[in-house]
Structure 1
Amino acid sequence: MLGENSLEARGETFFLNLRFLLIVTVFTGNAIEPLIGTSSGLHSLYMWIFSFHMPLFVLVTGYFARKSMTGAAGRRMLMQIGLQYIIFQSLYSMLDASLFHVNGIHHSFFAPYLLLWFLASHAFWRLLMLGMGKWAPAGQIAFALFAGVLVGYLQLDGVWFSISRTFIYLPYFVIGYHFSFPALVRIYQQWTKIAAATVSILLFIILMIWGTNLPLGWLYGSMTYMQLGHQEWYAGLYRLGIYGLQLAASLAFLGWVPYGVSRMTDWGRRTLYVFLLHGFVVRLAAISGLYAYIGNSVGAILLLLASISLTVLLAQPTVKRLLHPLVEPSVSWMVTLQRAALRRSL
């Protein structure tokens, strides 16, 4: 029993470390996006990041969802995700209408504002997993892959209800939910991790040389095949190819993730704060005119360092202490109302 508990603790440490590294790439990717059209180096870095960071982030989310999928804990989590979505969709939309003015934004609660798609999809992933609860893991993964390919054929804008990303990233949530850390430890020994990290570097080089031929829309996961310019009946095969690329890139990136406890592990416990708040920082930087002064490699390096530093800053306990009611609002009042409603119906 002690060994099992120890292995479970090591698994949590590993995935907290991974979660922090991923939120660094999320912040970095969004921070450099305004410059990828003018810098080939940043464009390559952006593509490299998008080849693995959201698939792995969804996988990690599925892994930690195991503790709060069903019962009272599952209901509270769904309530909190819904409340977070309402709060931040309102905040981002109001600021966009008055200050940010981002092109192509649908100001509707049914169209998540930029990064908030993750909250909407997270709620749907949980509901879908509950619906598939009696299926074997292989059946769940097979359905998720089939749905991820099929959703691209729908003749609609994929941003509504975050429907495209919900189904395209569903396979990673299912894999994360069933992920076996002991199997990972057996495979990712020292030399395997070094080899995986080396492959990750090689993938970056490959994307630097040939990545311009891959439309970024395929990596975003928010667009249908029609929006991507492919109306062929076999367009779903391209999605399977992207799944292969993302799987390879994700397995390679795992080579960078340490197993041991460090400050990174503690920061990984508060990545939700970084995720929900960093959009304000990036949008404020964009409207400030800051990017007009970043025209060389020195400026790009400073931007990358600032992204990493701000990620660490937003992951500090002080930020959580100050903004906890906003980022992780209490749902106790919702539970009380639910119980009162149930009592009245009996």
Structure 2
Amino acid sequence: MSTTLIQPPAAATADSSTPVERRKARDPLLDNARYWVMLLVVAGHGLQYLLDVPDARGTYTWIYAFHMPAFVLISGYVARRYEGSPKQVRTMLTSLVLPYVGLNVALDGFRALLDDEPLAVNLLDPAWSTWFLIALFVWRLSSPVWRVVRAPVLVSVVVSLVAGLWQVGDVLSIHRILGLLPFYVAGMYLRPEHFALLRRPAVRVASVVALAGTLGWCLLRHEGWYVSWLYWRDAYADAPLDADAFGGLATRAGLLVTGFALSAAVLSVVPARRDRTSDLGRHTMNAYVLHGFVLILLAHLGVFSALATWGALSVPVVLVGSVLLGTALMSAPVARLVSPVVTPQLRWAFRDQRAGGV
């Protein structure tokens, strides 16, 4: 096989394109997919407060089977041109590292304020959803490695499987970083022709069947299955998984297959044309950073406890609420308001590369 078929394109990096060119190059399919997957992230975090409700637990299990794998896959594709240039490094520091630190402090502080407890911050133990920010930072740093090794996707799968045997503390969500790694690496090697294949009518029909069928299966068969497997954060032998090596490897392999299949299904069924969700999908970071505060506050006020008494009816309420909340947080007015804080530029903190200094 020709090298050109397996290497990410060596086209212009983010450094060499103008803002206008980058806007024109945006793929509405990816922006639409980010929007819908972000809504699943919000919904999943909302449903976690209702796991004692059978239908909520089943829906939650279905969402967690693929929503982060799909998000990581898309992130790998978007970052496929990462080469470690000064501008790209600055962007990572301001869009990932600083938000990771700030969000950890803010979430811990918000919880402490609501619970009337002293603030305790541990940046080595990511607070709730912040793990993805530090994971994306590590994955991007590793990108050059996956351009030079042979069979990169296969190697990353082996890393993911073996990592579950490693009984170490989950510092900086290392288990999630290694467990979900294959989706990032596979995303780096996606090509337009792969997306074209997913858009074929027969594939789209099969994708709808796969998504609907797995949802039905999760609603019927979720009892007695540890959702903790879907968090990718524990070694196989550790609680609450408590699995032997063979059982752990087999379960994770199954989750990898499921994650890839359903991620492909999502990319197949989301609209490919530019529409309202395309613009919203450009601001998923705002929703990712902010939705936790809203959900924590609602839980503190007893909203989810009240919803739990509604039984199965609580599920559509949470899903509709998640769509409204996620859409609002990805809107242009919110972006104008919070982007300077969520992704600060901090040009004063970096050397001017145009000056040619060292």
TM-score (norm: length of structure 2) = 0.85
**Matching residue of 2:191:** 180
Q: Which residue of 1 aligns with 2:175?
A: 164
- CA positional deviation for 1:196: 0.8
Which residue is 1:148 aligned to? 160
Task: Give 1:97's aligned residue.
Answer: 112
Q: Distance in 2 between matches of 1:68 and 1:323?
A: 26
CA contact (8 A) 2:161 2:179 kept: yes
Number of the residue aligned with 1:192 = 203
Q: 1 CA distance for matches of 2:115 and 2:57? A: 23
Partner of 2:146: 132
1:268-296 deviation digits (Å, cap 9, x = unpaired): 00000000100001101100111232122
Which residue identity does 1:193 align to in structure 2? R
Report the AA paired with residue 293 of structure 2: F
Percent identity (aligned): 25
Alpha-carbon distance between aligned partners in 2 of 1:74 and 1:20, rounded to the nearest angstrom: 24
Out of 212, 215, 218, which is 1:207 matched to?
218
CA distance in 1, matches of 2:116, 2:353: 38
Deviation at 1:233, TM superposition (A): 5.4
Say which is worse superposed, 316-325 or 188-197, in terms of deviation: 188-197
Equivalent AA in structure 1 for residue 51 of structure 2: I
Asked if structure 2 preserves the Cα contact closer than 8 Å seen for 1:92 and 1:113, the reply is: yes
Determine the C-alpha separation between the residues in 2 that align with 1:79 and 1:11. Answer: 22
Q: Which residue of 2 aligns with 1:314?
A: 329
Residue equivalent to 2:57: 43
**1:128-186 C-alpha deviation (Å, 9 max, x unpaired):** 113333224x2x2122111111111122232x111001011111111111111222213
Secondary structure at the counterpart of residue 27 of structure 2? helix
Whether 1:241 aligns to 2:254 is: yes
1:187 to partner: Cα distance? 4.1
Residue number in structure 1 paired with 2:67: 53
**Structure 1 residues 69 and 98 mapped into 2: Cα distance closer, same or farther (>3 Å)?**
farther
2-structure distance, mates of 1:291, 1:214: 23
Q: Which residue of 2 aligns with 1:333?
A: 348
Q: Is the 8 A contact 2:80 2:187 kept in 1?
A: no
Structure 2 unmatched runs, 5+: 1-22
The amino acid that maps onto 1:169 is L
Task: Indicate if the aligned counterparts of 2:159 and 2:179 stay in contact, CA closer than 8 A.
Answer: yes
Pairwise CA distance, 1:303? 2.5
Is 1:26 aligned with 2:41? yes
Q: Contact 1:17–1:265 (CA<8 Å) still a contact in 2?
A: yes
Q: How big is each residue's C-alpha offset from its partner over 1:85-124, in whole Å with a ceiling of 9 and x where there is no partner?
A: 111111112122232589xx98311111110000110111
SS of residue matched to 1:336: coil
Q: Which structure has the highest helix share of the two? A: 1
Distance 1:333 1:315 in 2: 28
| 1:3 alignment counterpart | none
Structure 1 residue runs without a partner (length 5+): 1-7
Q: Number of aligned pairs?
A: 330
* Alpha carbons of structure 1 residues 47 and 88: separation in structure 2 relative to 1, 3 Å: same
CA shift for structure 1 position 27: 0.3
Structure 2 counterparts to residues 44-123 of structure 1, below 5 A: 44-80=58-94, 81-99=96-114, 107-123=121-137
SS of aligned partner of 1:179: coil
Counterpart secondary structure, 2:80: helix
Q: Residues 193-250 of structure 1, C-alpha deviation per residue, up to 9 Å, x if partnerless?
A: 1221111101111112222243111111111112210143563232112112222222
Q: State the alpha-carbon separation in 1 of the partners of residues 246 and 313 from structure 2.
A: 46
Q: 1:96 to 1:329 in 2, by over 3 A?
A: same
Per-residue CA distance 1:299-324 (angstroms, 9 max, x = gap): 43222211111111101111111111
Match status 1:281 vs 2:322: no
